[in-house]
Amino acid sequence: MSENAAEYDKLVLEKLNYNSYLRVPELLGLQRPQSDPEHHDEMFFIIIHQSFELWFKEMLHETGLLMEYFRAGQVSRALKVVKRVNAILETLCQQIQLLSTLTPVEFAGFRKGLGTGSGFQSVQFREVEFAFGLRDEWFFQFFEDDDFARGRLRKRFEGPSVYDEFLRALARDGYAVPGGLVTRDTGKPHELDPGLVECLRKLYLEPEDNYHWILVCEALLDLDTLFSKWRAVHVLMVSRTIGGQKGTGGSSGRAFLESRMPYRFFPELWEVRNRFWADEEGGAY
Protein backbone atom coordinates (compact mmCIF):
# COMPACT_ATOMS: atom_id res chain seq x y z
CA MET A 1 0.00 0.00 0.00
CA SER A 2 1.40 3.43 -0.90
CA GLU A 3 2.06 5.98 1.84
CA ASN A 4 -0.77 8.18 0.54
CA ALA A 5 -3.23 5.31 0.52
CA ALA A 6 -2.23 4.33 4.06
CA GLU A 7 -2.68 7.90 5.25
CA TYR A 8 -6.05 8.10 3.55
CA ASP A 9 -7.10 4.85 5.22
CA LYS A 10 -6.11 6.28 8.59
CA LEU A 11 -8.23 9.35 7.96
CA VAL A 12 -11.18 7.19 6.94
CA LEU A 13 -10.93 5.18 10.14
CA GLU A 14 -10.73 8.33 12.24
CA LYS A 15 -13.93 9.66 10.74
CA LEU A 16 -15.76 6.54 9.69
CA ASN A 17 -19.20 6.97 8.19
CA TYR A 18 -21.20 5.56 5.27
CA ASN A 19 -19.54 7.73 2.64
CA SER A 20 -15.98 7.37 3.86
CA TYR A 21 -16.24 3.60 4.46
CA LEU A 22 -17.64 2.95 0.96
CA ARG A 23 -15.41 5.58 -0.65
CA VAL A 24 -18.47 7.15 -2.21
CA PRO A 25 -16.75 10.37 -3.29
CA GLU A 26 -14.11 8.39 -5.25
CA LEU A 27 -16.72 6.01 -6.63
CA LEU A 28 -18.82 8.88 -7.96
CA GLY A 29 -15.77 10.35 -9.68
CA LEU A 30 -15.13 7.24 -11.75
CA GLN A 31 -17.75 7.77 -14.46
CA ARG A 32 -16.21 9.77 -17.29
CA PRO A 33 -18.31 9.92 -20.46
CA GLN A 34 -16.26 10.53 -23.63
CA SER A 35 -18.95 12.07 -25.82
CA ASP A 36 -18.76 15.82 -26.41
CA PRO A 37 -21.31 17.27 -25.98
CA GLU A 38 -22.09 14.60 -23.43
CA HIS A 39 -24.70 12.11 -24.61
CA HIS A 40 -27.27 11.50 -21.89
CA ASP A 41 -27.19 7.68 -22.24
CA GLU A 42 -23.43 7.26 -21.98
CA MET A 43 -23.56 7.61 -18.18
CA PHE A 44 -26.08 4.74 -18.08
CA PHE A 45 -23.80 2.62 -20.31
CA ILE A 46 -20.74 3.26 -18.11
CA ILE A 47 -22.56 2.53 -14.85
CA ILE A 48 -23.90 -0.80 -16.13
CA HIS A 49 -20.42 -1.91 -17.17
CA GLN A 50 -18.78 -0.73 -13.98
CA SER A 51 -21.30 -2.55 -11.82
CA PHE A 52 -20.64 -5.73 -13.86
CA GLU A 53 -16.94 -5.35 -13.12
CA LEU A 54 -17.67 -5.06 -9.39
CA TRP A 55 -19.74 -8.25 -9.48
CA PHE A 56 -16.98 -10.02 -11.43
CA LYS A 57 -14.60 -8.96 -8.66
CA GLU A 58 -16.91 -10.42 -6.05
CA MET A 59 -17.31 -13.66 -8.03
CA LEU A 60 -13.54 -14.05 -8.21
CA HIS A 61 -13.35 -13.35 -4.48
CA GLU A 62 -15.84 -16.18 -3.90
CA THR A 63 -14.02 -18.64 -6.17
CA GLY A 64 -10.95 -18.32 -3.94
CA LEU A 65 -12.99 -19.41 -0.94
CA LEU A 66 -14.76 -22.11 -2.92
CA MET A 67 -11.47 -23.71 -3.92
CA GLU A 68 -10.25 -23.50 -0.31
CA TYR A 69 -13.37 -25.34 0.89
CA PHE A 70 -12.91 -28.03 -1.77
CA ARG A 71 -9.27 -28.42 -0.73
CA ALA A 72 -10.36 -28.79 2.91
CA GLY A 73 -13.13 -31.27 1.98
CA GLN A 74 -15.80 -28.93 3.42
CA VAL A 75 -18.65 -29.92 1.14
CA SER A 76 -21.57 -28.02 2.66
CA ARG A 77 -19.54 -24.83 2.93
CA ALA A 78 -18.51 -25.19 -0.72
CA LEU A 79 -22.18 -25.59 -1.60
CA LYS A 80 -23.04 -22.38 0.20
CA VAL A 81 -20.43 -20.47 -1.84
CA VAL A 82 -21.67 -21.89 -5.16
CA LYS A 83 -25.14 -20.72 -4.18
CA ARG A 84 -23.89 -17.19 -3.63
CA VAL A 85 -22.12 -17.18 -7.01
CA ASN A 86 -25.38 -18.37 -8.56
CA ALA A 87 -27.34 -15.58 -6.88
CA ILE A 88 -24.89 -13.07 -8.35
CA LEU A 89 -25.24 -14.65 -11.81
CA GLU A 90 -29.05 -14.39 -11.53
CA THR A 91 -28.59 -10.69 -10.84
CA LEU A 92 -26.26 -10.30 -13.83
CA CYS A 93 -28.79 -11.95 -16.14
CA GLN A 94 -31.35 -9.39 -14.98
CA GLN A 95 -28.90 -6.53 -15.11
CA ILE A 96 -27.94 -7.01 -18.77
CA GLN A 97 -31.59 -6.43 -19.62
CA LEU A 98 -31.34 -2.85 -18.43
CA LEU A 99 -29.74 -2.23 -21.82
CA SER A 100 -33.04 -2.98 -23.53
CA THR A 101 -33.93 0.61 -22.60
CA LEU A 102 -31.16 1.82 -24.94
CA THR A 103 -32.39 2.12 -28.53
CA PRO A 104 -29.98 1.62 -31.49
CA VAL A 105 -30.27 5.31 -32.29
CA GLU A 106 -29.35 6.32 -28.75
CA PHE A 107 -26.38 3.91 -28.71
CA ALA A 108 -25.17 5.20 -32.09
CA GLY A 109 -25.06 8.65 -30.47
CA PHE A 110 -21.92 7.73 -28.48
CA ARG A 111 -20.69 4.33 -29.81
CA LYS A 112 -17.93 5.90 -31.93
CA GLY A 113 -16.32 7.23 -28.74
CA LEU A 114 -15.77 3.64 -27.56
CA GLY A 115 -13.16 3.14 -30.31
CA THR A 116 -11.99 -0.47 -30.15
CA GLY A 117 -13.03 -0.78 -26.49
CA SER A 118 -14.93 -4.04 -26.07
CA GLY A 119 -16.04 -6.73 -23.59
CA PHE A 120 -13.16 -8.75 -25.07
CA GLN A 121 -10.88 -6.60 -22.91
CA SER A 122 -12.65 -7.37 -19.64
CA VAL A 123 -9.83 -9.06 -17.77
CA GLN A 124 -12.13 -10.08 -14.92
CA PHE A 125 -14.71 -11.74 -17.20
CA ARG A 126 -11.93 -13.82 -18.74
CA GLU A 127 -10.57 -14.56 -15.26
CA VAL A 128 -14.00 -15.84 -14.24
CA GLU A 129 -14.06 -18.18 -17.27
CA PHE A 130 -10.51 -19.32 -16.55
CA ALA A 131 -11.24 -19.77 -12.84
CA PHE A 132 -14.10 -22.16 -13.53
CA GLY A 133 -12.02 -24.06 -16.08
CA LEU A 134 -12.90 -22.70 -19.53
CA ARG A 135 -9.51 -21.69 -20.92
CA ASP A 136 -8.39 -20.63 -24.36
CA GLU A 137 -4.99 -19.13 -25.20
CA TRP A 138 -6.67 -17.18 -28.05
CA PHE A 139 -8.00 -14.56 -25.62
CA PHE A 140 -4.53 -13.41 -24.54
CA GLN A 141 -4.27 -11.39 -27.79
CA PHE A 142 -6.64 -8.79 -26.31
CA PHE A 143 -4.19 -8.02 -23.51
CA GLU A 144 -0.93 -7.80 -25.43
CA ASP A 145 -0.02 -4.32 -24.19
CA ASP A 146 -1.41 -4.83 -20.68
CA ASP A 147 1.12 -6.49 -18.35
CA PHE A 148 -1.17 -6.23 -15.35
CA ALA A 149 -4.00 -8.09 -17.10
CA ARG A 150 -1.70 -10.69 -18.67
CA GLY A 151 -0.12 -11.49 -15.29
CA ARG A 152 -3.52 -12.06 -13.67
CA LEU A 153 -4.76 -14.13 -16.59
CA ARG A 154 -1.64 -16.27 -16.82
CA LYS A 155 -1.92 -17.12 -13.12
CA ARG A 156 -5.53 -18.23 -13.55
CA PHE A 157 -4.70 -20.06 -16.76
CA GLU A 158 -1.92 -22.17 -15.23
CA GLY A 159 -3.40 -22.85 -11.80
CA PRO A 160 -6.08 -25.37 -10.84
CA SER A 161 -9.65 -24.38 -11.70
CA VAL A 162 -12.72 -24.72 -9.49
CA TYR A 163 -13.50 -27.90 -11.46
CA ASP A 164 -10.00 -29.31 -10.77
CA GLU A 165 -10.41 -28.68 -7.04
CA PHE A 166 -13.90 -30.20 -7.05
CA LEU A 167 -12.59 -33.36 -8.75
CA ARG A 168 -9.61 -33.60 -6.41
CA ALA A 169 -11.95 -33.29 -3.41
CA LEU A 170 -14.16 -36.07 -4.81
CA ALA A 171 -11.09 -38.27 -5.32
CA ARG A 172 -9.86 -37.65 -1.77
CA ASP A 173 -13.32 -38.62 -0.53
CA GLY A 174 -12.94 -42.04 -2.16
CA TYR A 175 -14.74 -41.61 -5.48
CA ALA A 176 -13.20 -43.17 -8.60
CA VAL A 177 -12.15 -39.96 -10.34
CA PRO A 178 -9.62 -41.02 -13.02
CA GLY A 179 -6.11 -40.50 -11.63
CA GLY A 180 -5.00 -38.57 -14.71
CA LEU A 181 -7.53 -35.86 -13.85
CA VAL A 182 -6.27 -35.48 -10.31
CA THR A 183 -2.63 -35.07 -11.28
CA ARG A 184 -3.14 -33.41 -14.67
CA ASP A 185 -1.24 -30.35 -15.88
CA THR A 186 -3.82 -27.69 -15.04
CA GLY A 187 -2.33 -25.35 -17.65
CA LYS A 188 -3.82 -27.58 -20.37
CA PRO A 189 -7.53 -27.35 -21.21
CA HIS A 190 -9.76 -29.95 -19.60
CA GLU A 191 -11.10 -32.54 -22.04
CA LEU A 192 -14.23 -34.62 -21.58
CA ASP A 193 -13.26 -37.80 -19.75
CA PRO A 194 -15.48 -40.90 -20.08
CA GLY A 195 -14.00 -42.31 -16.84
CA LEU A 196 -15.24 -39.27 -14.95
CA VAL A 197 -18.69 -39.61 -16.52
CA GLU A 198 -18.80 -43.17 -15.19
CA CYS A 199 -17.69 -42.03 -11.74
CA LEU A 200 -20.46 -39.40 -11.64
CA ARG A 201 -23.00 -41.91 -12.92
CA LYS A 202 -22.29 -44.19 -9.95
CA LEU A 203 -22.40 -41.27 -7.55
CA TYR A 204 -25.86 -40.22 -8.79
CA LEU A 205 -27.16 -43.79 -8.70
CA GLU A 206 -26.56 -44.06 -4.95
CA PRO A 207 -28.19 -40.98 -3.51
CA GLU A 208 -28.47 -42.35 0.05
CA ASP A 209 -24.70 -42.21 0.49
CA ASN A 210 -23.85 -39.35 -1.83
CA TYR A 211 -26.53 -36.76 -1.43
CA HIS A 212 -24.14 -34.05 -0.16
CA TRP A 213 -22.08 -34.40 -3.36
CA ILE A 214 -25.17 -34.64 -5.57
CA LEU A 215 -26.27 -31.26 -4.19
CA VAL A 216 -22.89 -29.79 -5.12
CA CYS A 217 -23.08 -31.30 -8.63
CA GLU A 218 -26.56 -29.85 -9.11
CA ALA A 219 -25.47 -26.42 -7.85
CA LEU A 220 -22.51 -26.48 -10.28
CA LEU A 221 -24.96 -27.32 -13.06
CA ASP A 222 -27.07 -24.33 -11.98
CA LEU A 223 -23.91 -22.23 -12.25
CA ASP A 224 -23.20 -23.51 -15.77
CA THR A 225 -26.85 -22.93 -16.72
CA LEU A 226 -26.81 -19.36 -15.40
CA PHE A 227 -23.56 -18.54 -17.18
CA SER A 228 -25.02 -19.83 -20.45
CA LYS A 229 -28.15 -17.85 -19.74
CA TRP A 230 -26.00 -14.73 -19.37
CA ARG A 231 -24.41 -15.45 -22.76
CA ALA A 232 -27.89 -15.87 -24.27
CA VAL A 233 -29.39 -12.67 -22.83
CA HIS A 234 -26.22 -10.74 -23.75
CA VAL A 235 -26.37 -11.85 -27.39
CA LEU A 236 -30.11 -11.11 -27.61
CA MET A 237 -29.51 -7.67 -26.21
CA VAL A 238 -26.60 -7.19 -28.66
CA SER A 239 -28.92 -8.16 -31.56
CA ARG A 240 -31.44 -5.67 -30.32
CA THR A 241 -28.91 -2.84 -30.06
CA ILE A 242 -26.57 -3.37 -33.01
CA GLY A 243 -28.27 -6.12 -35.07
CA GLY A 244 -25.66 -8.05 -37.07
CA GLN A 245 -23.00 -5.29 -36.99
CA LYS A 246 -19.39 -6.13 -36.23
CA GLY A 247 -18.30 -5.62 -32.63
CA THR A 248 -16.06 -2.76 -31.50
CA GLY A 249 -13.54 -5.48 -30.52
CA GLY A 250 -13.34 -6.60 -34.16
CA SER A 251 -15.37 -9.83 -34.02
CA SER A 252 -18.35 -10.62 -36.24
CA GLY A 253 -20.52 -9.59 -33.25
CA ARG A 254 -23.69 -11.64 -32.93
CA ALA A 255 -22.32 -14.64 -34.88
CA PHE A 256 -19.22 -14.76 -32.68
CA LEU A 257 -21.24 -14.52 -29.48
CA GLU A 258 -23.61 -17.25 -30.66
CA SER A 259 -20.63 -19.49 -31.32
CA ARG A 260 -19.71 -19.17 -27.60
CA MET A 261 -23.12 -20.28 -26.38
CA PRO A 262 -22.49 -24.06 -26.33
CA TYR A 263 -19.40 -23.73 -24.07
CA ARG A 264 -19.71 -25.35 -20.63
CA PHE A 265 -17.51 -25.32 -17.52
CA PHE A 266 -18.38 -28.81 -16.29
CA PRO A 267 -18.89 -31.02 -19.38
CA GLU A 268 -19.09 -34.37 -17.56
CA LEU A 269 -21.92 -33.14 -15.35
CA TRP A 270 -23.91 -32.65 -18.58
CA GLU A 271 -22.67 -35.78 -20.30
CA VAL A 272 -23.73 -38.01 -17.41
CA ARG A 273 -27.36 -37.15 -18.29
CA ASN A 274 -26.88 -38.90 -21.64
CA ARG A 275 -25.56 -41.95 -19.83
CA PHE A 276 -28.66 -42.26 -17.65
CA TRP A 277 -30.96 -42.18 -20.64
CA ALA A 278 -28.76 -44.50 -22.69
CA ASP A 279 -28.85 -46.90 -19.73
CA GLU A 280 -32.60 -46.66 -19.53
CA GLU A 281 -33.06 -47.41 -23.24
CA GLY A 282 -30.74 -50.40 -22.83
CA GLY A 283 -32.74 -51.52 -19.79
CA ALA A 284 -29.81 -51.14 -17.39
CA TYR A 285 -31.22 -48.15 -15.52
Length of the chain: 285
Q: Applying CB under 6 A, what is the total number of residues that bind ligand HEM?
A: 25
Of the residues 229, 260, 270, 276, which one makes contact with ligand HEM according to CB under 6 A: 260
Residue 97 or 274 having the CB closest to ligand HEM: 97
Report the distance separating Cα 73 and Cα 29, nearest Å. 43
Q: Does 93 bind ligand HEM (CB under 6 A)?
A: no
| Binding-residue pattern over the window 45 to 64 for ligand HEM, x denoting contact by CB under 6 A | ---xx--x------------
Residue ranges in 176-215 that form contacts with ligand HEM under rule CB under 6 A: none
Smallest distance from ligand HEM to CB 130, Å: 12
Contact 95, 126 (CB under 8 A): no
- Euclidean distance between the first and final Cα of the chain, in Å? 59
Amino acid code (one letter) for 82:
V
Q: Does 20 bind ligand HEM (CB under 6 A)?
A: no
Residue 80 or 154 having the CB closest to ligand HEM: 154
Report the distance separating Cα 125 and Cα 96, nearest Å. 14
Q: Does 118 bind ligand HEM (CB under 6 A)?
A: yes
Amino acid code (one letter) for 273:
R
Q: Does 233 bind ligand HEM (CB under 6 A)?
A: no
Residue 172 or 246 having the CB closest to ligand HEM: 246
Angle at 280 between CA 275 and CA 285, to 5 degrees: 90
Query: CA nearest 25: which of 34, 15, 39, 36?
Result: 15
Report the distance separating Cα 158 and Cα 141, nearest Å. 17
Which residues of this protein are in contact with ligand HEM, per CB under 6 A?
Answer: 48-49, 52, 96, 99, 102, 107, 118-120, 122, 125, 234, 238, 241-242, 247-251, 253, 256-257, 260
